């Protein structure tokens, strides 16, 4: 596991976007696992900007999202399909036929879960999986006590997750109590994991996930077993890490990260630092 601490949430999101862009340059038909949530919006805004200004090409990319709410069709404003279309897919040159999310409105949810796993297998697995973390320690919607060998399935959402995500719905009561999620086994099968967490409210769960004992009570601790997991956090989220100085030292001296050091901002094409998408083209969750 590589743990990178950046000064701000913006610089952390910038670095994650650069890693994804470099993976796309190296493998244009990348199979990319994607995540949703407020933390990821800056990542997607930067990828949109890089597509427009630097020509990052999504045309051959295949994508698989971690999860979707049960009962919400893709047309629902609170669905993750809507989120992805709004924040990324409709703003880059990806073929929508190559973008996959579980169908939360499927007539047979169990069959949909099996079908999703089959689609991933047909693409020979996920090359790069983007991950965030919930306050319950979940990855995707793998809530506490999720098996590390689990596959795509329906999960009951925990009270912590309902409280955290309910604010995005017109009323908390309208948030679904179930979701389809990639399993922990599916996530761990990804060839590379790229984990992003920012903000002081994530500091406690980040410390438990990265430095605590491996336990199904905190599913994200399973990433400690992954052979290639890159963790990017900001100083606020790193606030409770015991070995933070060591992680900073590694990032400052590891040659593979030399091109990513500096002030943490993405360079604009004209040489000036520029975060997010061009003025007038900002993309926000609605």
Handedness of CA 147, 151, 154, 158 (dihedral sign): positive
Query: Which CATH architecture fits 2-126+137-189+198-205?
Result: 3-Layer(aba) Sandwich (3.40)
Spans of all domains in the chain: 2-126+137-189+198-205
pTM across the whole model: 0.90
At how many degrees (to 10) do helices 9-26 and 38-54 cross?
Answer: 50
> Would you give the DSSP letter of residue 33?
E
What tens-digit pLDDT sequence spans the chain (286 residues)? 999 999 999 999 999 999 999 999 999 999 999 999 999 999 999 999 999 999 999 999 999 999 999 999 999 999 999 999 999 999 999 999 999 999 999 999 999 999 999 999 999 999 999 999 999 999 999 999 999 999 999 999 999 999 999 999 999 999 999 999 999 999 999 999 999 999 999 999 999 999 999 999 999 999 999 999 999 999 999 999 999 999 999 999 999 999 998 754 444 333 334 433 333 332 222 2
26: number of CA atoms within 13 Å, CB side? Answer: 10
């Amino acid at each position: 596991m590589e743990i990178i601490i950046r000064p701000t949430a913006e610089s952390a999101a910038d670095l994650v976007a650069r890693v994804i862009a470099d993976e796309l340059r190296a493998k244009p038909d990348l199979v990319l696992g994607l995540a949703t949530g407020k933390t990821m919006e800056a990542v997607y805004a930067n990828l949109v900007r890089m597509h427009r200004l630097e020509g990052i090409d999504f045309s051959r990319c295949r994508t698989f999202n971690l999860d979707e709410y049960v009962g919400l069709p893709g047309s629902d404003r609170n669905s993750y399909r809507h989120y992805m279309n709004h924040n990324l897919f409709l703003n880059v040159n990806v073929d929508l036929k190559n973008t996959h999310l579980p169908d939360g409105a499927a007539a047979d949810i169990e069959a949909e879960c099996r079908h999703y796993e089959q689609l991933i297998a047909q693409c020979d697995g996920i090359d790069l999986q983007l991950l965030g973390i919930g306050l319950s320690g979940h990855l995707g919607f793998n809530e506490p006590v999720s098996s590390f060998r689990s596959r795509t399935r329906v999960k009951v959402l925990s009270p912590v997750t309902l409280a955290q995500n309910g604010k995005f719905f017109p009323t908390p009561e309208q948030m679904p109590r179930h979701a389809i999620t990639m399993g922990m086994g599916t996530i761990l099968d990804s060839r590379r994991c790229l984990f992003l967490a920012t903000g002081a409210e994530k500091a406690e769960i980040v410390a438990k996930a990265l430095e605590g004992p491996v336990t199904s009570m905190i599913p994200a601790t399973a990433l400690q077993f992954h052979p290639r997991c890159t963790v990017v956090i900001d100083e606020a989220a790193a606030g409770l890490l015991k070995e933070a100085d060591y992680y900073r030292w590694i990032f400052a001296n590891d040659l593979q990260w030399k091109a990513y050091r500096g002030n943490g901002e993405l360079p604009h094409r004209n040489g000036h630092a520029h975060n997010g998408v061009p003025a007038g083209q900002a993309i926000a969750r609605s």
